């Protein structure tokens, strides 16, 4: 709001002018009534006063439009600024934060919570200023006419304030709960729409609708609780105002009959009192806006106050580029108190190819994520080029690493743009070369638009293997010193995997390469193969050395060979059955 203080000040001045003009109308009406009763003593004719009232009302309308647009535009600018800050904050947070949050809940804060804040800083501030000006000026003018009637008119206000104070506390809690329920509703919708194929494949449409309906009922209940509170507050305020009006009509009428007050004063007093009715009623709506805005700001502050655990080093090392030597010294790591990696010590020379294998849950993906410092690493446990990873600037570290995760994420853009995302300002020839290395170019030849094909949300129009190869091409285009492949070929067949690995073999050069794979054939040609078991290094060595030892790696290799032989036998048997059926069909045709 400080950044828009000029707009707020100008809007407030316009509101003062608007209400000042509105307060002139009852006074002109008073003079018009007195001119009708005593034409000889009047300065102007009643018609003149009528024309003056029309002119003041028209001028008031023009100033009111300017005041509203000024204040509401300020609220829009604040909404824009908060949205930009919120988005920048989310991009600065790390994976530990996002692992505990739901996408739908974060999107709800961007949409609904920001709308509540805009309403508070726009219409809310406008009506607060409007109410304060009208109340202050009206009380002064009413006091000039009759102090006694003014005191009678405001006598019920303390009781109203006391009752409303208790109701607003409850309204805040209901409002915050409603926003949380709306976030759950948004998350549920976002999750089921993203998983539409799975929902349909398992015939779970009805169950998804029931779950959505249940959350919708909770959201409805929270909103109905707020509606009931508003239903109490608004009539309470209206009744307070009506009670004051009733007292004024009774006592003021008696004073006019007794001659203690002129009819013009009585008309003006009631005009000012009538002007207080709407601000009094709208005050309940303002309280609702305040409570909803406070609840929404509390939810936004949860994001704005969040702190990333992976941050830029306080004392960065003077390094401009990395060669790719990686050293782990007793590295340990865990999620939420559970230990995933235990005392891993490993030294990887620049240009070395290292395969990382192990059973599901052994910590393979966690290990390579720590190399990119996607999760916090303890000091003195992981070094690159002899420098503690916590002292390397994040831009330098991640600029030197090409990371291909298990699930290749693609943006809702063309294939060309998704590949070029790996390097800003990438040339066309570089994009084509990266796609060729990832064996994606063959598939793109069959697409009508080729590299300009839109992939849809999260690459939904591509197969799993095509998404993975696009992600590989993106990392290759980056030309990193360290290439991390976290099981990137799980969605392609063995033949395609072999072709891709053959292409990549000529690309590796002096780069340090870490390959995580559940297929041992993908790491067979690596210089060193590390076998993880229970978060610790169980074996290490070349493919031949590990087979000769006859340990866990050799057992996994034999197991995979048996599976491949069984799969090959089934394929051959299926082919023989097809040929046999074709021969029988030919015999039948001859007969």
Specify whether 165 is located in the same domain as 296. Answer: yes
**pLDDT tier at 389 (50, 70, 90 boundaries)?**
very high
- The C-alpha R_g of the chain, in whole angstroms, comes to 37
pLDDT band at 327 (very low <50, low <70, confident <90, very high): very high
What is the reported pLDDT for 459? Answer: 72
Q: Is residue 317 assigned to a domain?
A: no
pLDDT digits (tens, 9 = 90+) for 182-196: 878 887 787 777 777
What is the number of alpha carbons within 13 Å of residue 257 lying toward its C-beta? 6
Q: How many domains does the chain have?
A: 3
Is the model's pLDDT at 498 over the cut of 80? no
Region 392-413 average pLDDT: 85
The H or E element spanning position 382 is strand 382-384
| Domain termination site, one of 479, 506, 535 | 479
More confident residue, 184 or 240: 184
Q: Is the pTM of this model over 0.75?
A: no
Q: Which of 29, 139, 4, 13 is nearest to 64 (CA)?
A: 13
Q: Is the pLDDT of residue 569 over 70?
A: no
List all residues 6 or more positions away from 539 whose beta carbon is below 8 Å from its beta carbon: 529, 530, 531, 546, 549, 551, 552, 553
Same domain, 357 and 464: no
CATH number of the CATH domain containing 209: 1.20.1560.10
3-state secondary structure at position 91 = helix
- Percent of the chain residues past pLDDT 70, beyond the cut: 91
Q: Pull the structure tokens for residue 444.
A: 């793109």
19 closest CA partner among 122, 138, 121: 138
Q: What burial letters (b/e) apply to 448-469, b meaning 16+ CB within 10 Å?
A: eeebeeebeeebebbeebbbbb
CA torsion angle for 130, 131, 133, 134 (degrees, to 10)? 110
Q: Are residues 395 and 465 in the same domain?
A: no
Residue ending a domain, among 479, 501, 534, is 479
Do 7 and 109 share a domain, yes or no?
yes
pLDDT for res 228: 82
pLDDT in tens, 197-237: 677 776 778 888 888 888 888 888 888 887 887 777 767 77
* Same domain for 192 and 175: yes
Question: DSSP per residue over 36-71, as a string?
Answer: HH-TTT-SS-HHHHHHHHHHHHHHHHHHHHHHHHHH
Instruction: Confirm whether 248 is domain-assigned.
Output: yes
Indicate if 182 and 57 belong to the same structural domain. Answer: yes
3-class SS of residue 290:
helix
Q: Does residue 312 lie in a domain region?
A: no
Look at residue 388 in the predicted model and tell me its pLDDT: 92
Least confident of 75-79, 150-154, 371-375, 484-488: 150-154
Provide the pLDDT for residue 573.
60
Domain that holds residue 419: 411-479
333 lies in some domain:
no
Q: What is the tens place of the pLDDT at every residue in 287-311?
A: 777 878 888 888 888 888 888 888 8
337 found inside a domain = no
Position 302 scores a pLDDT of 86
Q: Tell me, yes or no, whether 63 and 101 share the same domain.
A: yes
| Residue range 358-388, pLDDT digits in tens | 888 888 888 988 988 888 888 899 999 889 9
Give the CATH number for residue 385.
3.40.50.300
Residue among 250, 251, 189 at smallest CA distance from 215:
189
Closest to 152 (Cα-Cα) out of 13, 88, 245: 245
Which residues lie closer than 8 Å to 391 by C-beta, 6 or more apart? 313, 315, 316, 317
In a domain, 318, yes or no: no
Q: The tokens of 44 are what?
A: 């102007």
Q: Are residues 109 and 254 in the same domain?
A: yes
User: Does a structural domain hold residue 13?
Assistant: yes
End-of-domain residue from the set 304, 339, 370:
304
Q: Are residues 475 and 486 in the same domain?
A: no
Has residue 583 got a pLDDT over 70?
no
Q: What are 513-568's pLDDT values in tens digits?
A: 898 888 888 888 888 999 998 888 888 998 888 889 888 888 888 887 887 777 66
**Measured between alpha carbons, how far is residue 416 from residues 2, 389, 412, 434 in Å?**
44, 33, 11, 11
pLDDT at 591: 43
Tell me the DSSP string of 398-414. HHTEEEE-SS----SSB
Q: 303-330 burial, b for 16+ CB within 10 Å, e for fewer?
A: beeeeeebeeeeeebebeebbbbbbbee
Quote the pLDDT of residue 585. 57
**109-136 pLDDT, tens digit each:** 887 888 888 888 888 888 888 888 887 8
Q: How many CB atoms lie within 10 A of CB 230?
A: 16
Same domain, 286 and 352: no
One domain for residues 378 and 442: no
Mean pLDDT of 485-507: 75
Q: Do residues 357 and 493 share a domain?
A: yes
How many Å apart are CA 83 and CA 118, to the nearest integer? 11
Torsion, CA 244, CA 246, CA 252, CA 253, rounded to 10: 180
Residue 584 has pLDDT above 60, yes or no: no
Ordered DSSP codes for 216-230: HHHHHHHHHHHHHHH
**326 or 99: which carries more pLDDT confidence?**
326
Residue at 341 is within a domain: no
Determine the length of the chain.
Answer: 591
């Amino acid at each position: 709001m400080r950044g828009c203080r000029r707009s707020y000040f100008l809007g407030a001045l316009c509101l003062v002018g608007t209400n000042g003009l509105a307060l002139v109308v009852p006074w002109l009406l008073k003079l018009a009534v007195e001119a009708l009763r005593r034409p000889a003593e009047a300065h102007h004719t009643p018609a003149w006063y009528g024309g003056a009232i029309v002119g003041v009302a028209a001028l008031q309308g023009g100033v009111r439009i300017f005041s509203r647009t000024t204040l509401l535009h300020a609220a829009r600018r604040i909404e824009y600024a908060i949205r930009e800050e919120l988005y920048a904050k989310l991009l600065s947070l790390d994976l530990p934060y996002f692992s505990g949050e739901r996408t739908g809940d974060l999107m709800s804060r961007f949409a609904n919570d920001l709308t509540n804040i805009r309403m508070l800083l726009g219409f809310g501030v406008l009506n607060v200023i409007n109410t304060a000006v009208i109340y202050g000026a009206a009380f002064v003018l009413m006091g000039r006419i009759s102090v006694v009637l003014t005191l009678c008119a405001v006598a019920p206000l303390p009781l109203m304030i006391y009752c409303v104070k208790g109701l607003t506390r409850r309204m805040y809690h209901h409002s915050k709960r409603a926003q949380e329920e709306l976030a759950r509703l948004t998350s549920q919708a976002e999750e089921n729409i993203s998983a539409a194929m799975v929902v349909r494949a398992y015939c779970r449409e009805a169950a998804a609708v029931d779950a959505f309906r249940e959350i919708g009922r909770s959201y409805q209940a929270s909103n109905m609780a707020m509606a009931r509170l508003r239903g109490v507050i608004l009539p309470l305020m209206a009744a307070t105002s009506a009670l004051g009006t009733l007292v004024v009509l009774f006592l003021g009428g008696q004073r006019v009959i007794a001659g203690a007050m002129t009819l013009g004063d009585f008309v003006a007093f009631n005009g000012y009192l009538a002007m207080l009715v709407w601000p009094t009623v709208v005050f309940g709506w303002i309280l609702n806006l305040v409570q909803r805005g406070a609840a929404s700001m509390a939810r936004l502050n949860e994001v704005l106050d969040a702190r990333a655990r992976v941050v830029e080093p306080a004392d960065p090392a003077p390094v401009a580029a990395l060669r790719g030597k990686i050293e782990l010294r007793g590295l340990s790591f865990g999620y939420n108190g559970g230990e995933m990696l235990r005392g891993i010590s490993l030294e990887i020379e620049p240009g070395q190819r290292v395969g990382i294998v192990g059973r599901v849950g052994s910590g393979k993906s966690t290990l390579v994520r720590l190399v990119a410092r996607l999760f916090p690493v303890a000091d003195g446990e992981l070094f690159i080029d002899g420098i503690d990873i916590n002292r390397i600037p994040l831009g330098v570290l991640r600029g030197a690493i090409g990371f291909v995760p298990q699930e290749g994420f693609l943006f809702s853009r063309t294939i060309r743009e998704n590949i070029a995302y790996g390097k800003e300002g990438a040339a066309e020839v570089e994009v084509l070369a990266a796609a060729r290395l990832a064996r994606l170019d063959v598939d793109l030849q069959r697409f009508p638009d080729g590299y300009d094909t839109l992939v849809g949300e999260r690459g939904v129009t591509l197969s799993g293997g095509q998404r993975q190869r696009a992600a590989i091409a993106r990392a290759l285009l980056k030309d990193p010193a360290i290439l991390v492949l976290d099981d990137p070929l799980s969605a392609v067949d063995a033949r395609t995997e072999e072709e891709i690995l053959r292409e990549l073999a000529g690309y590796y050069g002096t780069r340090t390469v870490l390959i995580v794979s559940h297929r041992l054939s993908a790491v067979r040609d690596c210089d060193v193969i590390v076998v993880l078991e229970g978060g610790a290094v169980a074996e290490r060595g070349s493919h031949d050395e590990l087979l000769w030892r006859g340990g866990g790696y050799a057992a996994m290799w034999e197991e995979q060979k048996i599976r491949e032989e069984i799969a090959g036998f089934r394929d051959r048997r299926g082919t023989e059955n097809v040929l046999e059926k074709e021969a029988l069909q030919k015999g039948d045709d001859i007969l």
